[in-house]
Structure 1
Amino acid sequence: MTTINNSSGGIDMSAYWLPFTPNRYFQHHPKIMQSAKGAYYYDDHGRKLFDGLSGLWCSPLGHADPRIGAAIQKQFETMDYCPAFQMASETAFRLASRIAKMAPAGLDKVFFTNSGSEAVDTALKIAIGYHRVMGNASRTRLIGRDRAYHGVGIAGISVGGMVANRKMFASMMMPGVDHLPHTLNLSQMAFSRGQPKWGAHLAEELEKIVTLHDANTIAAVIMEPVQGSTGVIVPPDGYLQKIREICTKHGILLIFDEVITGFGRLGANFGADRFGVTPDMITFAKGITNGVIPMGGVIVRGDIYDSIITNGGQEQSIEFFHGYTYSGHPIPAAAGHAVLDIFESDDLVNRARALEPVLEDGLHALKGKSGILDIRNFGLSGAVELDPVPGKPGLRSMKVLEACIEKGALVRVAGDAIAAGPPFISTPEEVQFLCSVLGEAIDVAMQIK
């Protein structure tokens, strides 16, 4: 066993195994955050850093909003935990109703989980269970997409399409999973503003999979409306509509993974609303509690719920053998209520929509800088694709991250892409500052050969 005893500011870093982090690199280049308030983090060097990715896409309201803290404290004093099986808190019922009212028409049932990963696995189990009770037990095949991120559960990485997330666990992958191609083609759509005009025909790849396997073997297609973790890949104009048409034609359920895009990131309640495409299920997490406490869930079409429940045997029998100790936990549910209250009182979805052109203009102003292969954006999210250092994938973007920190901003590394998704409470000047810092940091990083 190798133990690295290193420290930053007196912190012993030898015990903590960081997730999705190059741990060896981190030991020599630690990044320690000390506090957060509003749209800013403060690190152990005393630097004030504009939060250019809303935490990890999960803090659209910024940090330490006292209204969320007060709601959590009140719920803690009232009831800190309620058993999730055979009973529930009023708080969870009310939050489910509020989320259902925000969702597209027909999606009116909510199953709570603790994370986006659990939400994805739950949605896929619901899909399989639904087809089974409908007499279609042969519908077990699941279809994801290349470069997709659907969390780290076994089902999620099976339908996911990020190679690095899958290769170590190849022996654990679920059978009966196919993948559609992703939609990013820089020869046709580099530097697109918003949705690319080329690429809707890629949806026809779903018909090929249906022909290969027979529709009666396919349970569901899952996809992110905008692929976030792989570097903000925006669907071509008309692509999602075609996917919906093909799924409907063949009786295949369509699941939108909106863990990143849900709750305002695309300037609408959900990406489904922004794109005008209604799936059969929506997964959510992150923004529902502003990242303060873990919570996730699945919003389900009402007749899917009805079919599973009415075919569940006798009334006293459990209809769907699935759930978590912390499903609908009253404290994150209270945080969710506070978050939705703030969304309404502060008009944050419209504020996010108003900042969208500011981010778009700021990012695309970087076009022409050395080493930039692509710039793409949609909603209050965007990414800059960089020319990697030969033979050292990811080093260029890591150096951009570090240069951004030196200059007062945080961004997100995604391979050799840099993603940005500022909080909805940001000012236009702060978003412009983020883009300016990113441009300066890219100049620094391009000096690496």
Structure 2
Amino acid sequence: MSRTPTVLDGPALWPAQAHLPSVLGRQIVIDRAAGSYLHTVDGRRLFDGTAGLWYANIGHGHPALAEAAREQMLRLETYHVFSRFVNDQAIALGERLAGLSPIADPKVILNSGGSDAIDVACKLARRHWQREGRPGKTVVISREHAYHGLHAFGTSIAGIEVNREGYGTESLVPETVRVPVHDVDALAKTIAELGADTIAAFVTEPVQGTGGVNPPAPGYLEAVQELCRDNDILFVLDEVITGFGRTGTMFAAERYGLQPDLVTFAKGVTSGYAPLGGVLVAPRIWEPFYADGADTPAFRYGATYSGHATACAVAQANLDVLERDGLVARAAELEQLLDTRLAQLAANRPSVAEVRVGGFLGGVTVVDEIRAEDVTDALLDLGFVSRPLRGNNLQISPPFITTDDELVAFVDAIDHVLAEQERG
């Protein structure tokens, strides 16, 4: 005789990405933050070892961004960018991003975040080929372990299967395919099997984040780019995590010498101080939509808050801080220290199966006998925030303002917890 399960009570807010029985009653309520530290309502001070969800690059509570938001809201909180209307902050940010872009002479689409950006980029890839008179090119290829947000397109091209399950169909948006994470030959085989005339785009993170912090194998991204060029497939870089300094260059495309057709961005463009994302678009894609003629097609993108004036003002203040304080170069310095300390951790701890570093992004894979969730819980007790990722991994991606001593203390805390787990 089956029992009716007890329905748990909790706050009205439904937590994101949560198995609710596992988190209700254990939630950590943050009420303020400063620099690299979070403060909870029960009085704890926590080192933010993940920069939130990879976004707090300049740290928390920066007065310049708060003042930029205040001044802009008092002048113009926002106005939409549909049709003939536009606001001055969206125009200014677009010009600035075009100047920083790894794509020469881009146009800039602005929206509310990374999931929005992926949705727009995939739609634009398909729209491009329809406009070119090649309607068969609709398939979007991505990689296993990939995370591209949770809108319909992002869910459909996700390479983390739990994010695809439970919706009654293999793919919310049809005609999506995934290939192994570092295997150029497998991609070439997939292109040959499907036919290049059916494929619109290949979408990839330069360094996979949520999938376990997977930097590209040497030469992989360059080879993929060449395959895309040879087969007339759009090459789309998802730089939602890596953009704006996380890999020690403004964009990972620069670090790896890539010339993508589309680049998605979010997170670091405002360091999380306002929700904003977008797409950088290469001339081969945007020029036909700008042709002077009655028959010129329109690309129907746009959300209410696309080009939000206050978010754009905050983004410009964030870019000022990145540039003035040399934080992109600082991220490159911190990468070297992180690489050294994680190599030492792996050498000293039998419970570490593998470590990976790609920019100021680190992943620590622990052996199956130890749960990453247990490690991150124990780290919280020591005052450090990490996050369990796919593959029994620990996330390391603190703000760029992190000191050497703070980074060393964070890795030492991981070492301490793993030593306790090994003894236990």
Shorter-chain-normalised TM-score: which range? over 0.9
1:375 aligns with 2:355: yes
Instruction: Please tell me the residue identity of whatever aligns with 2:360.
Output: L
Q: Is the 8 A contact 1:133 1:311 kept in 2?
A: no
1:320 aligns with 2:299: yes
Secondary structure class of the residue paired with 2:245: coil
The alignment yields a C-alpha RMSD, in angstroms, of: 1.7
Match of 1:76 in 2: 73
Instruction: Please tell me the residue identity of whatever aligns with 1:325.
Output: T
Distance 1:431 1:306 in 2: 46
Q: Deviations over 1:261-303 (max 9, x none)?
A: 1000000011101111111110000011111111100001022
The 5 A counterparts of 1:99-110 are 99-106=97-104, 108-110=106-108
Which of 262, 279, 290 aligns to 1:281? It is 262
Match of 2:121 in 1: 123
Match of 1:199 in 2: none
Match of 1:195 in 2: none
Which of 21, 38, 50 aligns to 1:53? It is 50
Which of 413, 416, 427 aligns to 2:388? It is 413
Which of 160, 166, 169 aligns to 1:168? It is 166
Which of 137, 142, 147 aligns to 1:149? It is 147
Distance 1:229 1:287 in 2: 16
1:402 aligns with 2:400: no
Q: Is the 8 A contact 2:80 2:307 kept in 1?
A: no
Match of 1:4 in 2: 8
Q: Is the 8 A contact 2:362 2:397 kept in 1?
A: yes
Distance 2:257 2:416 in 1: 37
Match of 2:398 in 1: 422
Distance 1:14 1:349 in 2: 39
Distance 2:293 2:160 in 1: 36
1:255 aligns with 2:236: yes
- Percent sequence identity is 33
Secondary structure class of the residue paired with 2:200: strand
Q: Deviations over 1:99-128 (max 9, x none)?
A: 111111425111011111110010011111
Distance 1:288 1:25 in 2: 33
Distance 1:73 1:21 in 2: 33
Secondary structure class of the residue paired with 1:366: helix
Distance 1:22 1:436 in 2: 30
Which of 208, 218, 231 aligns to 1:237? It is 218
Distance 1:89 1:153 in 2: 27
The 5 A counterparts of 1:171-182 are 171=169, 172-182=171-181
Query: Is the alpha carbon distance of 1:174 and 1:269 closer, same or farther for their aligned partners in structure 2, counting shifts above 3 Å?
Result: same
Match of 2:91 in 1: 93
Instruction: Please tell me the residue identity of whatever aligns with 1:381.
Output: L
1:35 aligns with 2:32: yes
Instruction: Please tell me the residue identity of whatever aligns with 2:256.
Output: F
Distance 2:221 2:245 in 1: 19
Query: Is the alpha carbon distance of 1:138 and 1:34 closer, same or farther for their aligned partners in structure 2, counting shifts above 3 Å?
Result: same
Segments of structure 1 that go 5 or more residues without pairing to the other structure are 6-12, 184-201, 390-394
1:246 aligns with 2:227: yes
Q: How many residues align?
A: 416
1:226 aligns with 2:207: yes
1:131: how far off?
1.1
Runs of 4+, deviation exceeding 3 Å = 311-315, 444-448
The 5 A counterparts of 1:188-207 are 202-207=183-188
Secondary structure class of the residue paired with 1:364: helix
Q: Is the 8 A contact 1:107 1:281 kept in 2?
A: no
Distance 1:4 1:282 in 2: 42
Match of 2:23 in 1: 26
1:301 aligns with 2:301: no
Q: TM-score, normalised by structure 2?
A: 0.94
Secondary structure class of the residue paired with 2:164: helix
Match of 2:419 in 1: 443
Secondary structure class of the residue paired with 1:168: coil
